[in-house]
Amino acid sequence: MSPCRRARRHTSRGAMAVLAWKFPRARLPVGASALCVVVLCWLYIFPVYRLPNEKEIVQGVLQQGTAWRRNQTAARVFRKQMEDCCDPAHLFAMTKMNSPMGKSMWYDGEFLYSFTIDNSTYSLFPQATPFQLPLKKCAVVGNGGILKKSGCGRQIDEANFVMRCNLPPLSSEYTKDVGSKSHLVTANPSIIRQRFQNLLWSRKTFVDNMKIYNHSYIYMPAFSMKTGTEPSLRVYYTLSDVGANQTVLFANPNFLRSIGKFWKSRGIHAKRLSTGLFLAPGWFSRLSVCLLLRS
């Protein structure tokens, strides 16, 4: 071997030694290697669970519904727990009885802001919660699209009281799947901002969209977040100015806070509960049957 080749080989070996010293090869601990093998074997034997599609979910719900039997004892226990915790019969909505003028209240979704009920706000509240009828069956219907092609519309309309979430469409093309009746419809202030530009430019589109809900109550969390107060008040004044058939009710922040604590004590730690979980307990405490459906 020539002197030049020996010199180059010596130089390359020296460089590799320096790199090995600066960047030593990492080795997994024995336990980590064993864990990787176990995980790979588990995934091979039990593949990752596939989420069902909407049609499969609807079929599963309908099949369970045929076998469902009401547990009277459990219903009475749950009703008593709800009444003791949240008193929905009196606190479901803000009224002149539970929210007197001059009372200071905290937003349930924000811990740093409170508000005082003044004369102009107090005048918007009904005297008492307007739901005192001896209803036997209610339906809480969401707007996620899962009821598409389900044919559940007739079953929903058979309920004595129908609650719908977030101003859902009720045109004739959806009637077969989601029904047409509605007695209470929730409206999140974010929908007013996104779909109706906070009612700052034109109110006609909003008023026309509301006609399909007939004489429903429009239930809004006006005092849940500070940013939701102004859009909610605009909804009230808009419907009042045009003499609409709908009546606006404001959710009581104390009720929403109590409902959140109730579900949290039962293992539900979501940052913000779904509309269905806010609605169903308040009605379950007074109605015999509550049918929960997400459309």
Average pLDDT of span 74-81: 83
Average pLDDT over the chain, rounded to an integer = 81
Q: By the 8 A CB rule, do 105 and 117 touch?
A: yes
Is residue 142 within 8 Å of 293, Cβ to Cβ?
yes
User: What are residue 137's DSSP bridge partners?
Assistant: 289
Q: Is the pLDDT of residue 289 over 80?
A: no
**Token match 């003028």: residue?**
101
- Element (DSSP H or E) covering residue 26: none
pLDDT digits (tens, 9 = 90+) for 21-35: 544 555 556 566 777
Helix segments in the chain, DSSP class H: 3-22, 30-45, 54-67, 72-86, 88-91, 119-122, 153-157, 175-178, 189-196, 204-210, 229-241, 253-264, 275-284
Greatest mean pLDDT among 56-70, 73-87, 162-176, 182-196: 182-196
Residues 6+ apart with CB under 8 A from 35: none
Residue 36's pLDDT is what?
Answer: 73
Q: Which range (40-44, 52-56, 97-101, 188-192) has the least confidence?
A: 40-44
Integer Cα distance of 141 and 160 in angstroms: 13
Supply the DSSP string of 123-160, one letter for each residue. TTS-SS-S--S---EEEEE--SSTTTT---HHHHHTSS
pLDDT higher than threshold 90 for residue 277: no
Got the DSSP string for 255-273?
HHHHHHHHHHTTT---SS-
Residue 218, amino acid: I
Among candidates 171, 142, 138, which has minimal Cα distance to 157? Answer: 138
pLDDT at position 188, please?
A: 93
Per-residue pLDDT, 114: 92
Residue with tokens 């209470």: 184
Instruction: Identify any residues that bridge with 220 across adjacent strands, giving them in sequence order.
Output: 250
pLDDT: which is higher, 18 or 51: 51
Tokens of 61: 């719900």
Residues 155-213: pLDDT tens digits? Answer: 899 988 899 999 998 888 889 999 999 999 999 999 999 999 999 988 999 999 999 99
Q: What is the pLDDT of residue 37?
A: 72
Q: Distance (Å, rounded) from C-alpha 166 to C-alpha 143? A: 7
CA distance 236 to 156: 28
Contact yes or no for 137/289 (Cβ under 8 A): yes
User: What number is the average pLDDT over the span 244-252?
Assistant: 96
Q: What backbone phi and psi angles, to 5 degrees, belong to 231?
A: -60, -35
